[in-house]
């Protein structure tokens, strides 16, 4: 089946500018054109776009996606290299997650301190009241 750029914009929520950018960057290759020169996408292109969108949603940079796709085109002999790209990306995601968790803790602490002040509670008093009996 064939799909127009406007179909992809509407159904996949990928803008025409993004489609042209992906093509310029080499993420989409050999996109067919109709008699008027307009891009025509097929089912394989749609699957390719969904895969690119999936990797972009994880925060993978365009360069990483391009490298992965180039290896994918070479077949199963590149599985270990593709696996390594994904593992390295996973580690970056984990680092960011750990950093975000630290930020969450800090913001939660600050919000709790604000709550104590709103309720006119001395934070030291809470600490003293929660000391174990000696």
The predicted model scores a pTM of 0.75
Alpha helices (H) in the chain, listed in sequence order: 5-12, 16-25, 43-57, 62-73, 79-118, 123-129
- Cα separation, 4 vs 83, in Å, equals 33
Angle at alpha carbon of residue 48, lines to 22 and 32, rounded to 5°: 70
Which are the contacts of 129, defined by CB distance < 8 A and separation ≥ 6?
A: none
Does domain 2-73 fall into CATH 3.40.50.410?
no
* pLDDT tens profile 51-77: 999 999 999 999 999 999 999 999 999
Give the pLDDT confidence of 100-116 residue by residue, as tens digits: 999 999 999 999 888 88
């Amino acid at each position: 089946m064939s799909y127009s750029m406007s179909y992809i914009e509407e159904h996949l929520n990928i803008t025409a500018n993004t489609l042209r950018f992906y093509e310029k960057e080499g993420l989409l290759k050999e996109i067919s054109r109709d008699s008027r020169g307009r891009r025509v996408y097929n089912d394989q292109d749609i699957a390719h776009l969904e895969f690119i969108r999936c990797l972009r949603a994880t925060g993978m940079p365009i360069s990483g996606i391009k490298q992965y796709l180039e290896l994918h085109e070479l077949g199963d002999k590149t599985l270990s290299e593709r696996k390594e790209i994904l593992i390295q990306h996973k580690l970056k995601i984990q680092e960011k997650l750990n950093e975000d968790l630290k930020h969450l803790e800090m913001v939660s602490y600050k919000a709790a301190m604000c709550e104590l002040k709103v309720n006119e509670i001395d934070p030291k008093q809470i600490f003293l009241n929660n000391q174990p009996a000696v």
